[in-house]
């Protein structure tokens, strides 16, 4: 399948988005849907990856909740990070078969997507040896990457700071990197940016780098497709 279905889901609570990814992961593994790219935002939340340690949240969990920020554990790689309104989150549900089942190749392409999208918006970005994510030449981190692979299909993905509040990063050890300075597209350019327009750029660059044709699908259309597949699966015994 050469298409990548792109869904702009708006603001979605983190746990709801994770549940959706799990359902889509199963459908992709079964070949019932093509590759997918979910583009969305989250309400304020700290997510802890598989390598997170307690010292990355030095204020204590209750203090963060008092600031209106949820905390949750997740099965992606990496450590603790922050998601919030104004940050563009991309969750590709992608089969790695076309990329030789090479997760490192997959992540390299994701880095290329981010760097190219930022360049389209006049933000210079690069990789830093030994550190994850994407950085400005001044060593300010503008995007994070964390993925999970199950039976050859990816979940989780990328988060690019566009217009989001950067203060919550100051209260943690972001991505486990001491003295990590975070930035955003808005901070680098000195003004708030068009988040939906930036999402379009990421969609287009994703298609180019991963050699897919983006096809916009609404969340409702995707839900209907999944319900149709579930109904068909439920009817299958009666059809034998």
Catalytic residues: 175
Q: What's the DSSP call for residue 7?
A: E
Which of 75, 89, 91, 95 shows the shortest CA–CA distance to 27? 95
Residue with tokens 């993925």: 147
Cα→Cα distances 58→54, 64, 77, 80, 170, Å: 7, 10, 21, 12, 11
Contact 71, 64 (CB under 8 A): yes
CA 89 – CA 20 distance, rounded (Å) = 14
């Amino acid at each position: 399948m050469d298409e990548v279905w792109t869904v702009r889901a708006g603001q979605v609570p983190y746990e709801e988005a994770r549940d959706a990814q799990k359902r889509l992961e199963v459908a992709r593994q079964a070949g019932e849907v093509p590759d997918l790219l979910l583009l969305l935002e989250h309400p304020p939340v700290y997510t802890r990856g598989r390598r997170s340690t307690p010292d990355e949240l030095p204020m204590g969990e209750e203090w963060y909740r008092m600031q209106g920020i949820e905390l949750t554990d997740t099965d992606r790689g990496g450590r603790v990070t922050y998601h919030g309104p104004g940050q563009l989150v991309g969750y590709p549900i992608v089969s790695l078969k076309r990329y030789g089942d090479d997760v490192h190749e997959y992540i390299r392409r994701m880095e290329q997507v981010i760097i190219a999208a930022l360049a389209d918006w006049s933000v210079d970005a690069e990789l830093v040896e030994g550190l994850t994510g994407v950085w400005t030449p001044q060593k300010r981190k503008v995007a994070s990457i964390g993925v999970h692979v199950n039976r050859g299909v990816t979940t989780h993905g990328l988060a690019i700071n566009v217009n989001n509040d950067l203060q919550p990063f100051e209260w943690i050890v972001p991505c486990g990197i001491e003295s990590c300075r975070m930035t955003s597209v808005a901070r680098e350019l000195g003004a708030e940016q068009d988040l939906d327009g930036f999402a379009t750029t990421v969609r287009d660059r994703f298609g180019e780098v991963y050699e897919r044709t983006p096809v916009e699908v609404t969340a409702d259309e995707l839900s209907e497709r999944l319900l149709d597949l579930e109904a068909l699966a439920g009817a299958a015994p009666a059809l034998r």
